[in-house]
């Protein structure tokens, strides 16, 4: 993370933004603030993108590119949203699913998720990649607001939602407890909550997916990407090395690379290691979504190497 904010750069123009839908677990977390408070945060699509660009002529816009299947992205968006909403309209936030909105990610030249970029007068301002603490986010946001003033972008705008709409149905208590724990960075508590939910209801699909998400985050939170990749390249038949790279690839949005790596490992190995790799691959399938086309394609490749 840099200590000073760069000047806006010329925006990319790589064609129209493509829309797609991806099943999300509890997608209302970001767009529905607690206690029906006003929110200056929204998820954008092709129709809303020009509106967001227009808003950046009035106030700076934070664009968070991540994945609803990545606990790290969900956690970061929660922190960003709390800081943005505290500014009461002097800055707004747009969330983008970088996996399904790949054209947006390419236009912003995003190579990993989560990545955060700002817009001022329609021009992108790089901010940071990966996770960040609240204090770091607040410091960068203050720099961004100062940069906006320098470029004549220093107004305020009305919230995207005012709390007047009917509230979403509440989540089951254990699911809510797990999500609160994730936002607080207490992944062990989140794991316990999801386990209790599954004990109460063994066919709770959302709890099973949530448990896999939390375990993925726990496995990757302290890992160094360069070191993990180097170990994986040096040890192609080491089970733990290949599992670690696959985990990092899913968190970083390189889903097909992760799947291909584990399918290839399974095809080269037999016995207990093969079964462990297969079980991890199935776990990653659930995180990405069983109906995702990448999962469907990978399952076909897995069947060929298994049978």
Q: Greater confidence, 107 or 128?
A: 128
CATH class belonging to 28-150:
alpha beta
Residue 104 in this model has a pLDDT that exceeds 90: no
DSSP calls for 42-62: EE--TTTHHHHHHHTTTS-EE
Q: What is the mean pLDDT of the chain?
A: 83
pLDDT at 41: 94
Query: Which residue carries 């709770």 as its tokens?
Result: 204
What are the two backbone dihedrals, phi and then psi, of residue 129, each rounded to the nearest 5 degrees? -120, 150
pLDDT tens, position by position, 119-134? 999 899 999 988 888 8
What pLDDT does 279 receive? 95
Beta bridge partners of 161: 39
Gyration radius of the chain's alpha carbons: 20
Q: What is the spatial distance between Cα 227 and Cα 218, in angstroms, rounded to a whole number?
A: 17
- DSSP characters for 100-155? T-HHHHHHTT--SSSEEEEEETTEEEEEEES---HHHHHHHHHHHHHHHHHTT---
Work out the number of other CB atoms within 10 angstroms of the CB of residue 273. Answer: 18
Domain residue limits, the chain:
28-150, 173-306
Distance CA 138, CA 36 (A): 23
CA-angle at 217, arms to 213 and 218, nearest 5°: 115
User: Residue 292 — pLDDT band, cuts 50, 70, 90?
Assistant: confident
* pLDDT class of 5 with cuts at 50, 70, 90: low
pLDDT tens profile 141-194: 999 999 999 988 988 988 987 755 445 568 899 999 999 998 888 999 999 999
137's CB contacts (< 8 A; 6+ apart) are 79, 80, 83
């Amino acid at each position: 993370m840099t200590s000073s904010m760069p000047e806006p750069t010329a925006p990319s123009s790589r064609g129209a933004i493509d829309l797609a839908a991806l099943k999300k677990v509890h997608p209302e977390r970001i767009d529905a603030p607690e206690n029906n408070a006003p929110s200056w945060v929204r998820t954008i699509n092709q129709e809303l993108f020009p509106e967001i660009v227009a808003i950046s002529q009035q106030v700076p816009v934070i664009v968070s590119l991540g994945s609803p299947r990545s606990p790290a992205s969900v956690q970061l968006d929660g922190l960003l949203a709390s800081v943005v909403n505290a500014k009461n309209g002097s800055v707004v936030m747009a969330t983008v699913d970088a996996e399904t909105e790949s054209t947006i990610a390419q236009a912003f030249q995003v190579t990993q998720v989560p990545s955060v970029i700002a817009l001022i007068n329609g021009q992108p301002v790089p901010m940071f990649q990966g996770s960040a603490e609240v204090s770091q986010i607040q410091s960068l946001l203050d720099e961004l607001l100062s940069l906006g003033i320098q470029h004549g972008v220093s107004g305020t705008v009305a919230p995207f939602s005012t709390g007047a709409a009917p509230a979403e149905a509440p989540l089951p208590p254990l699911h809510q407890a797990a999500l609160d724990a994730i936002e607080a960075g207490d992944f062990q508590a989140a794991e316990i909550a999801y386990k209790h939910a599954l004990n109460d209801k063994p066919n709770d699909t959302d709890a099973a997916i949530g448990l896999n998400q939390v375990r993925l985050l726990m496995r990757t939170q302290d890992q160094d990407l360069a070191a993990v990749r180097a170990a994986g390249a040096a040890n192609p038949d080491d089970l733990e090395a290949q599992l670690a790279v696959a985990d990092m690839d899913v968190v970083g949005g390189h889903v097909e690379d992760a799947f291909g790596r584990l399918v290839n490992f399974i095809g080269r190995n037999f016995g207990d290691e093969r079964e462990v790799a297969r079980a991890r691959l199935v776990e990653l399938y659930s995180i990405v979504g069983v109906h995702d086309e990448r999962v469907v394609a990978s399952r076909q490749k897995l069947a060929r190497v298994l049978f």
